[in-house]
Amino acid sequence: MTRKKGDCGPKHQEHACAILQSRSLPDSSAIVRGMRVEIPAQLVERLAAAERVVALTGAGVSAESGVPTFREAQTGLWAQYRAEELATPEAFQRQPKLVWDWYEWRRTLVAKAAPNPGHFALSELEQLVPEFSLLTQNVDGLHQRAGSQRVIELHGSIFDTLCFDEGTQVLTWSDDGSVPPRCPRCAGWLRPGVVWFGEPLPEAALASASRAAAECQLLLSIGTSSLVHPAARLPYDAKAAGALIVEINPTETALSKHADYVLRGPAGEMLPQLLRLLRKAKAAR
């Protein structure tokens, strides 16, 4: 097969192509969905000077990798259910097999997805900032697969398994055909390691995220609706402490009017362009 110049080819090459193609863009510009978007030079300079940066990511980042958002993951057999009716402790107690099977199906979807250029750009940004924290509301592990190291999972991980009764993580269990499987310690049901409606966020994760937001100099809010609390409060806490707030999202959100800068585009297109400009600014210092 012959490819034209600039053809990205296989999916695993998308990140490299995004960075390569960005080199031909004018300074402080990004091409988003065929339109030229200006990235303010002042923003790039503030990011280049920042020593403590936080990125808060939401479902929009994963959606660019083909992962259905939480409420979109209702197709086929699952179309008759509402996500809010399945993702609760009460639903699990009533119909544990149904809830377990739904999350097994979602794990399969996530496992087929690959990190997109936005994920890779955040991984590279981590290497350019002395103190960088990535706070994510996503449970798919795509940030880690892209190479990010300092990740705080606010809503847990869909690939973790917990004992429903004890709340402890379980790594192995007997495959005796039970659905859900049984805890090898107490024989209680095992459940997905995600935060359900009505449950608090993991105490340690929330404390670390709150501390990072309160101490950062710049916070990037990326691909999140800014509606799900308590994570939605983090940008406001950062702003109250004096941080610069930057929103990257293709649509307006509740945070938009409070952000210092808004880059109106998807993370997979805006972040690689911002990273290109950041590298150039740092090289000029």
Tokens matching residue 51: 């020593």
User: Which of 15, 119, 143, 155 is an active site residue?
Assistant: 155
CB 197 within 8 Å of CB 87: yes
What are the two backbone dihedrals, phi and then psi, of residue 32, each rounded to the nearest 5 degrees?
A: -120, 115
Residue 6, judged by CB atoms within 10 A of its CB (0-12, 13-18, 19+), counts as exposed
**Helix/strand/coil for 111:** helix
Q: Can 155 be counted among the known catalytic residues?
A: yes
Residue 9: half-sphere exposure toward Cβ, Cα within 13 Å: 11
- For the chain, give percent helix, strand, coil, nearest 5: 40, 20, 40
Conformation bin of residue 155: beta by default, left when phi > 0, alpha when psi is -120 to 50: alpha
Active site residues: 155
